[in-house]
A and B are shown apart, each in its own frame.
Chain A
């Protein structure tokens, strides 16, 4: 049983999705909601159990159908992938809980789609096979298309249409890249690819380079890296906020794939091809941070603002991936967890604030005051402090760490001034938004029609997401130790390849 644990974070959400479509859950709303949250909790518990097991016994490799490594498909549970699987499962459970307050009734099949999305994301994190990665990308994309359309209006249809077309082109490029790489390397297992890249000669080197850089285009599209980031603000701002909160993890799938491909396959050992994408990643990441910061300053409503924060966080992460040292990767892992939770919390807060302000909704302008200023105000301050990276919350620790990681290299000269200026822009943008929304108002709260108050389920979800910021600051010691360990395993070329190619039981 214990060796099958690795496959459970992929299998459980699939079962959950099917169960939620079946009669008792399909018909009765109350049962469906309870079942969705409980199944999400089970997946989270299993993911955390897997994380603890990997921490004790080291990387676990699961050969699907007992076909051993280079021939069959393997699932690889190392500290990084299990951390992200646990993060995704918890985020999905929280979003399911939040949607129970009524958002899931805007359209059909919210809960099954949520679990299918979880299946795709978990699979993408765990798989050790490049083609299987493509398949899980498609699984998570088709779920995300439907979630995006959930309870939508006109603007939503337009954003969804553009998002779907962009991603279909992305899938085509992904397949071309895989075809090129398979033609040159003769394998699609990532560890095996990493070993074969070392021995390439002559023209094959250039072909592999083309394949690798085409993959970069795909991951940049998924991760919203400049210049392929244009779909993100519109898509996230028109989706239902709870869906946008859930999508906080989706850009991270692109970043995670970059980490895997450009540190394992095209990393230190890749001979002529080692670090081939580094320059591209570095400058594009810096440009992404600048664009995101400008976007934050220019945003007219809270959801667009948070969408631009997502772009800044992607830029930061990719810059750290480009540095390709163990410490930078560790900082990236810590920052990834922090930014996912905080942006999800901010999307949810934007929704709650918007609902309580009547007609002006979440636009950053003078309007009716919110009904519960203390609760939402405190929530906003915590999330904002964490997102900007001010002490004492997790954002500050993440910022210090990533600045330290770039200090002793030639990267620091460019990165420090740029990142600190971007932080200043974030500070100005978010505090302007916060002060306008909470302090500049006209009219009074006791307006004609009923005010919506925060539902207990929404409050619980918000508390879980927000508590991550202080918790990650209080337990910064163990958390950073874990991140460092995960980064060491990620950069350990020999350990990873031999574990995958010889392990798999």
Chain B
């Protein structure tokens, strides 16, 4: 289980980083989303992975750590709001700058390709 979980987080981070390094805003936003998914999974696992354990004291002899769950909940809410903000900002950037590049200008190479 640990191996599967870890490789899942690793794959998400790798995809996220790759997409963030792209030059257009849409892949970058997707990359940020993937990275935040990976982070949420990672935070969740910081309380150790376990099966069939309640996160409430007194309901079972072994119990899961409830704190990471609270942390993940906070991180999800904040990540969601931030993603919404960056989407709006990207749309405004598209309108203001006339293109969807993070640098605000289309590189020379691409221009020639289109022409």
Contact = CB atoms under 8 A, between A and B. Distances in A.
A165 B39 contact: no
A135 interface: yes
Interface of A: 131, 135, 138, 142, 145, 149, 153-154, 157-158, 160-162, 164-165, 168-169, 171-172, 175-176, 178-180, 182-183, 188
A158 B97 contact: yes
Given A172-B35, A175-B43, A182-B67, 9 more contacts: A131-B71, A142-B81, A145-B85, A153-B96, A161-B89, A172-B32, A175-B75, A182-B46, A182-B47
A195 to B, nearest CB: 18
Given A135-B74, A138-B78, A175-B39, A157 B46 contact: no
16 contacts: A131-B74, A135-B78, A142-B81, A158-B96, A161-B90, A165-B28, A168-B86, A172-B32, A175-B39, A175-B75, A176-B42, A179-B71, A180-B46, A182-B68, A183-B48, A188-B67
Given A142-B85, A168-B86, A171-B82, A157 B39 contact: no
B96 A157 contact: yes
Given A158-B93, A161-B25, A164-B86, A169 B43 contact: no
Contacts of A180: 46
Contacts of B48: 183
B114 to A, nearest CB: 21
A142 B42 contact: no
B1 to A, nearest CB: 16
Contacts of B92: 157
B15 interface: no
A158 B71 CA distance: 32
A168 B97 CA distance: 22
A161 B85 CA distance: 10
Contacts of A183: 45-48
User: Size class of B's contact patch?
Assistant: 20 to 34
A138 B38 CA distance: 18
Across the A-B interface, the 10 shortest Cβ-Cβ residue pairs? A158-B104, A183-B46, A179-B46, A157-B96, A179-B43, A175-B39, A182-B46, A172-B35, A172-B39, A161-B93
Interface of B: 20, 25, 28, 32, 35-36, 38-39, 42-43, 45-48, 67-68, 71, 74-75, 78-79, 81-82, 85-86, 89-90, 92-93, 96-97, 102-104
B83 to A, nearest CB: 8
A375 B49 CA distance: 66
Contacts of B104: 154, 157-158, 161
B96 A178 contact: no
A415 B67 CA distance: 44
Most buried by B among A154, A165, A188: A165
Given A154-B96, A161-B90, A168 B67 contact: no
B89 to A, nearest CB: 6
Interface majority SS (helix, strand, loop, mixed), chain B: helix
Given A158-B104, A175-B43, A182-B68, A169 B20 contact: yes
Contacts of B28: 165
B85 A169 contact: no
Contacts of A188: 67
Contacts, number: 86
A438 to B, nearest CB: 34
Contacts of A172: 32, 35-36, 38-39
Interface majority SS (helix, strand, loop, mixed), chain A: helix
Contacts of B25: 161
A150 to B, nearest CB: 13
Contacts of B67: 182, 188
A160 B89 contact: yes
A138 B46 CA distance: 21
Nearest to A71: B67
Most buried by B among A157, A164, A179: A179
Given A135-B74, A138-B82, A145-B85, A158 B103 contact: yes
Nearest to B65: A186
Contacts of A168: 32, 36, 82, 86
A164 B28 CA distance: 11
Contacts of B97: 154, 157-158
Nearest to A181: B46
Contacts of A162: 102
A142 B78 CA distance: 10
Nearest to B17: A169
Contacts of A149: 89
Contacts of B75: 175
A182 B79 CA distance: 20
Contacts of A165: 20, 28, 32, 86, 102
Contacts of B68: 179, 182
A164 B74 contact: no
A138 B79 CA distance: 10
A201 B115 CA distance: 62
A153 B90 CA distance: 14
A171 B78 CA distance: 10
Contacts of A161: 25, 86, 89-90, 93, 102, 104
A178 B81 CA distance: 20
B103 A179 contact: no
Contacts of B103: 158
A164 B71 contact: no
B39 A176 contact: yes
A188 B46 CA distance: 12
B71 A157 contact: no
A160 B93 CA distance: 9
